[in-house]
Structure 1
Amino acid sequence: MGRASFASRSGHELTGSLELPPGGEWKATALFAHCFTCGRNIRAARDITRALAAAGFAVLRFDFTGLGDSEGEFEDTTFSSNLDDLEDAATWLGETLAAPQLLVGHSLGGTAALAVAERLDSVRAVATLAAPAQPEHVLKNFGDDLARIEEEGSAEVDLGGRPFRVRRDFIDDARSHDLSARLRKLRRALLVMHAPGDRVVAIDQAETIFTSALHPKSFVSLDEADHLLSRSEDSVYAASVIASWAAKYLEMRSAQATEGVVVAGRTADAFLCSVQAGEHRLLADEPESHGGSDLGLDPYRFLSAALASCTVMTLNMYARHKKLAVERVLCQVTHRKVHASDCEDCETREGKLDELRRVVTIEGELDDAQRARMLEIADRCPVHRTLEGEIKVRSELA
C-alpha cells in the first residue's frame, strides 16, 4: 500500500491510500468512495480495495475533505464538495497511473459515485454498495437535530458515536440533487449490491437505483451483511463479485507474453509476489507463521507442485498409451530438510539435504505388476530427472 496525497480545488490536501496488486502490475484503475463520515480506513474500505488490488486493480481510496487525514473542516463540506473531491481524486489517479475506469462507492459514497460518473469520461462501470438512491436520504441520520440545524444555521450532531458540526448549507445542498435523471443517462455499466436486511439504508433504495438506470445493469444481494459491511467475509465477497463483473466492461491491460516465469514483488508487500507465466498469473507468499500473509504458495510448495504435476501428467500419458484401466492419478509431494547421515542412499554424508517425499495414488483396476511399473515411470517424469540431474543457475542483472 502506498500513501497518496493531492490538492483539492478548494486548496486542501487530501490524503489517500493507493492499493496496488502484488508485484505492482495492474490491469485497470479504480476509485473508491467511502461512506458518510467514515474515512478511508474503515474496515470495508480497506478490505474491498485490497481485494480488488489482489484481483489486478490499482485502487485509490481517500478521505473526503474534513475527514481522516485530509485537511479542511467537515462543517464546510456538502454533497457537491464530495463530488468535487472525487473528481480531483480521479484527476490525480489519471496523472499518476491512468484515469479510473471503475467507480466503487459505499453508502453515500455510492450515491456520490453515481452522481459524479457523468463528469468522468474515463469511467465505464459503477458499483454501489448499500447506497441510497438520493443524497437527501442521509438527512435521516440527523433525527431531531435536523430542525435545529435548519433553525439555527448549524448544530453539532452525533453520527456513529462521534460529534460533527453540520451546517444548513449541507442540508440545502443534499436536497438540491436529484439523481433520477442522472441514473437514466448514466450510460455506464451498473452493479447494485445491497443487503435485504440493511437497517440504515433500506433495500427499496437499491430497487429505486436499479429500476431507474438503463441496461447494462446487475443486482447482487449481500445477504446478511450489515450496512457497514463490518465482516471481512462480506466485504471481500463484494470485491470478488465487483472484480469479476467489471472485467466484462473495462479495457483491461493484458500482461505481455514473457519467456519462462517472471516474478515481481514490492518491498512494501513483505513476501507477497505475483508470478506470471505466459498469460497465467499466480501469487507466491509465505505463511503467516513465517511473516507472510499466506495469499499464495511458498517457493518450496511451488517446487513440490512442479514435481507432483509432472508426475501426474506423465503417469496419465503412460496409462493412455498403454490403454491401462486408470481412472485418476493423485500425487502428494512434501519437502523437508533431513540430516545427510540419516539418508542411507545419499552420496552426501555431512550436513543437511533436501528431501522430496512423493506418494502416488493410482485409481483403477490394475494388478500389482502394473502398479509397480507405473511407479517406475513416475521416476522418469522430466521434472524428476531435472531435480536429480546436474543443475546450473546462471544469474545476471537486467
Structure 2
Amino acid sequence: MTLLHDQTAPVADVTPDERAQRLTDAGTAWNERIAVDATNADLTYKVVGRGVGSVATEVRAGKHRFLVDEPGALAGDDAAASPVEYALGALVSCQVVVFRLYAQSLGLTIDEIEITAEGDLNVQKLFGIDESGRAGFHDVRLKVDITGPNSADEYANLRKVVDEHCPVLDLFSNPVPTSSTLV
C-alpha cells in the first residue's frame, strides 16, 4: 500500500499468546454487544476518494489515507497499486484475519500464514471494445500457505470455515446491491 505523507502506523509484533488473547477478547466483546442489542452487529463503513494526477485516487478511510493508481499502460503514473490489486489485497487481508479468528476459535495453531491471490481480468469491456464480457475479474484464485502443528485435515476444515465467514470473499462471490448518485 502506498501511504500518503509516509505516515505509517507500525504493526505490533505480538506473541501467539497475545494474539490469542486479543482474538478472544474481541470475540467476547462482540458477543456481549450483540446479546444486548442485535443491531449492534450492523456496521457501516465509509471511504472517500478524490481524483489526483492522471487517473490516481487519494483515498481516506477513517484516519488512514492511501493512494490508488494505474500502471502507465492504463493511463496512470504507476505511483501505487491499482484498484483491482487493492481488491485482491482486501481479499487476502480479510482471509488472514478470518483464518486467525477461526483458528483461535477451533483451538488450532497458525505459526505462519501467507495467502496469494491471482485474478484474471479482460480489459475489452473497460475500453468499450466488447460489451459482452465482464468488466471485473472473471476468475480469482487463492493459495493459502499455513504452517503449524495441526493436521492437514484440520487446516482443510479451517479453510472451509473461513470461506463461509470471510466478508470480502462474500463480496467477491455474491452480487451486492449497489447504487450510485451523481451530485
Specify the alignment match of 1:390 in structure 2: 175
CA distance in 2, matches of 1:302, 1:325: 28
Higher RCO (CA-CA < 8 Å; seq separation 6+): 2
How far residue 337 of structure 1 moved from its aligned partner, in angstroms, is 3.0
Cα distance change on mapping 1:274 and 1:351 into 2, 3 Å: closer
Partner of 2:76: 292
Match of 1:260 among 38, 43, 46: 46
Amino-acid identity (%): 27
1:337 aligns with 2:121: yes
| Partner Cα separation in structure 2 for residue 377 and residue 327 of structure 1 | 18
One of 81, 90, 93 as aligned partner of 1:309: 93
Instruction: Give CA deviations for 1:193-250 in whole Å, capped at 9, x if unaligned.
Output: xxxxxxxxxxxxxxxxxxxxxxxxxxxxxxxxxxxxxxxxxxxxxxx7xx99xxxxxx
In 2, distance between residues paired with 1:368 and 1:289?
Answer: 42
Secondary structure of 1:333's aligned partner: strand
Contact 2:54/2:76 (8 A) holds in 1: yes
Root mean square deviation, CA, Å: 2.5
Alpha-carbon offset, residue 366 of structure 1: 1.9
User: Which amino acid letter does the alignment assign opposite residue 397 of structure 1?
Assistant: L
Which digits, 9 at most, give the CA deviation of each residue in 1:281-317, with x for residues without a partner?
0100001332322221111011111111111100001
Q: TM-score, normalised by structure 1?
A: 0.31
Equivalent residue letter for 1:330: E
Corresponding residue for residue 126 of structure 2: none
Deviation sequence 1:304-333 (CA, Å, 0-9, x none): 111111111000011111221211221111
Do residues 270 (structure 1) and 54 (structure 2) align?
yes
Question: Which amino acid letter does the alignment assign opposite residue 393 of structure 1?
Answer: T
1:377 maps to what in 2? Answer: 161
Aligned to 1:192: none
Counterpart of 2:103 (choices 319, 322, 331) is 319
**Structure 1 match to 2:12:** none
The runs of 4+ residues in structure 1 deviating greater than 2 Å are 288-291, 350-353
Unaligned runs of 5+ in 2: 9-43, 123-131
- Residues in 2 aligned to 1:351 and 1:306: alpha-carbon distance in whole angstroms: 24
- Which position in structure 2 is the counterpart of 1:224? none
Matched residues in 1 for 2:74 and 2:113: separation?
A: 32
Cα distance change on mapping 1:326 and 1:296 into 2, 3 Å: same
Alignment partners' CA distance in 1, 2:46 and 2:62: 8
Provide the rounded CA distance (Å) in 2 between the counterparts of 1:359 and 1:277.
Answer: 28
Matched positions, count: 133
In the superposition, the TM-score normalised over structure 2's length comes to 0.64
